[in-house]
Structure 1
Amino acid sequence: MAEAEPTVPGAPTGGPAAPPKIAPWLVVYTVGRIAIAAALVLLLWWLGLEGFPGLLFGLLLSMPVSYLLLRPSRERLTEGLAARSIARKHAKQDLDARLTGDDT
């Protein structure tokens, strides 16, 4: 069985749609991860776990918390990266076809 090739989303004008912008979602995700880590480290320091152990536990705890809280932005970022990958693949195939003289 052959794998189904992903289709390129179409723009309203009939051409291929532009891949979504990923920079805003990358910034949201990165700033969110840093903010969650900083908040947890500060909370642990405020609760009395000071110094390096508080920093390590805060960073360790920020991983599952970020995984749960930042799921929507992580999914949007993943969708954007996948769409860009598909668009690049089709652009490369189109260029290869034009360079070899295929007009299909």
Structure 2
Amino acid sequence: MAEKNTTANTTAGAAAPVGPAGGAATPPKLLPWALMYVVGRLSITAALVLILWLVGLGSFPGLLFGLLLSMPVSYLLLRPSRDRLTEALAARAVARKAAKDDLRNRLSGGE
């Protein structure tokens, strides 16, 4: 919920994002969500390739079919972490735009 509140004040581009304590909002960390998503993708791919090899599909076809099957499975299973990563990227972009606008305003001699 806190991430969604940070974008409320920047629709007009006039004010910086406000955090829950009333100060400037800090964007959420990207690294944990990116690592979770990458590790999830790799583990799903490895598990599917292993299952296909145990079923009896050869090494190269098993690898190719495992890679192919991992795409839709990852799309469905990793949706929550992908959504959180997208929110973190969007919040970071909003904070970066607010900081850029603030710098431009200070350099131009504004308030």
With the length of structure 2 as denominator, give the TM-score of the two structures: 0.84
Cα separation, partners in 2 of 1:36 and 1:8, compared to 1, 3 Å: farther
> What is the SS of the residue equivalent to 1:21?
coil
Query: Unpaired segments of 5 or more residues in structure 2?
Result: 1-10
Q: How many pairs were matched up? A: 100
The answer for the alignment partner of 1:89 in structure 2 is: 97
- Alignment match of 1:62 (pick from 66, 70, 76): 70
What is the CA–CA distance in structure 2 between the aligned matches of 1:8 and 1:53, rounded to whole Å? 53
Instruction: Give the aligned CA root-mean-square deviation in angstroms.
Output: 1.5
Percent identity, aligned pairs only, is: 65
The answer for the alignment partner of 1:41 in structure 2 is: 49
What is the CA–CA distance in structure 1 between the aligned matches of 2:89 and 2:107, rounded to whole Å? 27
What is the CA–CA distance in structure 1 between the aligned matches of 2:98 and 2:17, rounded to whole Å? 11
With the length of structure 1 as denominator, give the TM-score of the two structures: 0.89
Cα deviations by residue, 1:47-69 (Å, 9 ceiling, x for unpaired): 00021111000000000000000
In structure 2, give the amino acid aligned to 1:18. T
In structure 2, give the amino acid aligned to 1:87. A
Alpha-carbon contact 2:16-2:99 (below 8 Å) kept:
no
